[in-house]
Structure 1
Amino acid sequence: MNLYFRLFWLLAWRSRRCGSIDFLGTSRISYRALPSDCDINFHLTNSRYPAFMDLARIYMLAGMGVLSRFIKLGWIPVVNAAEFTYILGIKPLAKFEIETKIVGWDEKYFYVEQRFVSDKGLHCIAHVRAVFVCKGKQVPIESMLEEAGFDQSTPDLSAEVLKWKDFFTAKKAEQ
């Protein structure tokens, strides 16, 4: 239930007051781990990380100034894959920040890096591979870039993301 409240709060209030970021800039949003977000090990439960990441990506789109445009176009973001590296648990009532940025794209997907950080350091780093879909069809990357007003060169994907892409290729080859 608290994630619905956080989503409403994000859409109704926070996204209207978020800072402006460049298309390849880093968005930052702060949260506090409520007791209902934590598991019996007294840290943020693993299932909450992707939920918080969803909210942070919405906030990033708002900071870029494209959220309302994409909604009007009927573009729905769809996560294709995600990978997580958990480093340090987030304790109940601890404040943390989620740093979100687009790290690149290829002919089909765009790649997002999300980091959970606090004054204690890095807690989790995750990568997300996603697309936008409209009426059951994928929105071409070029259309997304055009609507976002991005006309610079494509950034090089990090070695980590390239290895992750190779992993997907290998998985498909096994089937």
Structure 2
Amino acid sequence: MHLVVKALVAAFLVVNAKNITFSWHIRFFYYFYRYCVLPKWLGYGVKDKPASPFAERRYDTRCTLMECDINVHKSNSTYFADLDIARSDLMIWLLNKFLRDTHKANGRWAYVPVGSVYCNFKKEIKPLQRYTIVSRVLGWNQKWLIVESRFEIGSKKSPVVAATALTKYVVKDKRKTIPPSEAFKMTGFSEGQCAEGLVRFEKMQSFMDVEAIEVQGE
């Protein structure tokens, strides 16, 4: 009997691993150490460097039983915990050199806090169903940086979008706001790529206005 109980508990923990206490913190710091700490310890740069600041990043996961609501599908509130990890992977991957260099220069870590999140739910994600969060930077102005994340279900060749999210970020070094173009330039992206972010932002400004996503205020 004890073996059966232990087996059931073990199975429950495996199926719901990402919802166990401190698992969020472990996943977040995994990306931080992978891109910001290990390169320094091991004496080499990140091997999978992005080709541009607009490169996509994919995060594969599954809808656990603990994430389901009374409608027996992924609860709306749990999308935001997933976004935390997927966006952290993207931003640390893109800006790891900027983060490491600013830390080396002044002894403190710059950071990229969230200003706001807009999420649009389209299709349900069922219990234990696998899905992928595809994130990318859409553009930026002198202060705000906008990240799009798509929750995709189905095959990689013909995915179905279950939800989309837009996140407004700001780059900070203590209390100082760093323009995204400057942060990307310090990371090693070209002048043309950094200027393109401003152009892309202007192109999506009308959509931001329609959805009442404020990006201009301090």
* Fold shared per TM-score above 0.5: yes
Shift in Å at residue 139 of structure 1?
2.0
Work out whether residues 150 and 161 of structure 2, in 8 Å CA contact, stay in contact via their aligned partners in 1: yes
Q: Secondary structure of 2:143's partner?
A: coil
Partner Cα separation in structure 1 for residue 22 and residue 202 of structure 2: 34
Work out whether residues 115 and 125 of structure 1, in 8 Å CA contact, stay in contact via their aligned partners in 2: yes
**Alignment-derived partner of residue 154 in structure 1:** 196
User: Structure 1 residues 21, 15: closer, same or farther in 2, change over 3 A?
Assistant: farther
TM-score (normalised: structure 2): 0.66
**Greater RCO (Cα-Cα under 8 Å, separation 6 or more):** 1
Work out whether residues 146 and 166 of structure 2, in 8 Å CA contact, stay in contact via their aligned partners in 1: yes
**Alignment-derived partner of residue 129 in structure 1:** 168
Query: Quick check: 1:8 aligned with 2:8?
Result: no
Shift in Å at residue 122 of structure 1?
0.7
**Unaligned ranges ≥5, structure 2:** 1-18, 36-46
Work out whether residues 138 and 201 of structure 2, in 8 Å CA contact, stay in contact via their aligned partners in 1: yes
Work out whether residues 98 and 184 of structure 2, in 8 Å CA contact, stay in contact via their aligned partners in 1: no
Partner Cα separation in structure 2 for residue 148 and residue 54 of structure 1: 22
The aligned amino acid for 2:170 is V
When the two chains are superposed, the root-mean-square deviation of aligned CA atoms in Å is 3.1
Partner Cα separation in structure 2 for residue 19 and residue 30 of structure 1: 17
Where is the strand percentage greater, Structure 1 or Structure 2?
Answer: 1
Structure number with greater Rg is: 2
Cα offsets for 1:29-64 (capped at 9, x unmatched): 101111111211111111111111110111113433
Q: Secondary structure of 1:49's partner?
A: helix
Residues 8-27 of structure 1 mapped to structure 2, 5 A cutoff: 8-9=26-27, 11-12=29-30, 16=34, 19-22=48-51, 23-27=53-57
Cα offsets for 1:65-84 (capped at 9, x unmatched): x3375263512211112211
The counterpart of 1:163, out of the listed 164, 188, 207, is 207
**Alignment-derived partner of residue 96 in structure 2:** 67
Shift in Å at residue 107 of structure 1?
1.5
Q: Secondary structure of 1:50's partner?
A: helix
**Alignment-derived partner of residue 45 in structure 1:** 75
**Unaligned ranges ≥5, structure 1:** none
The aligned amino acid for 2:113 is V
Percent sequence identity over aligned pairs: 21
How many pairs align? 171
Work out whether residues 105 and 154 of structure 1, in 8 Å CA contact, stay in contact via their aligned partners in 2: no
TM-score (normalised: structure 1): 0.81
User: Structure 1 residues 164, 40: closer, same or farther in 2, change over 3 A?
Assistant: same
User: Structure 1 residues 3, 41: closer, same or farther in 2, change over 3 A?
Assistant: farther
Where is the helix percentage greater, Structure 1 or Structure 2?
Answer: 2
**Alignment-derived partner of residue 3 in structure 2:** none
The counterpart of 2:88, out of the listed 58, 68, 83, is 58
Shift in Å at residue 163 of structure 1?
2.5
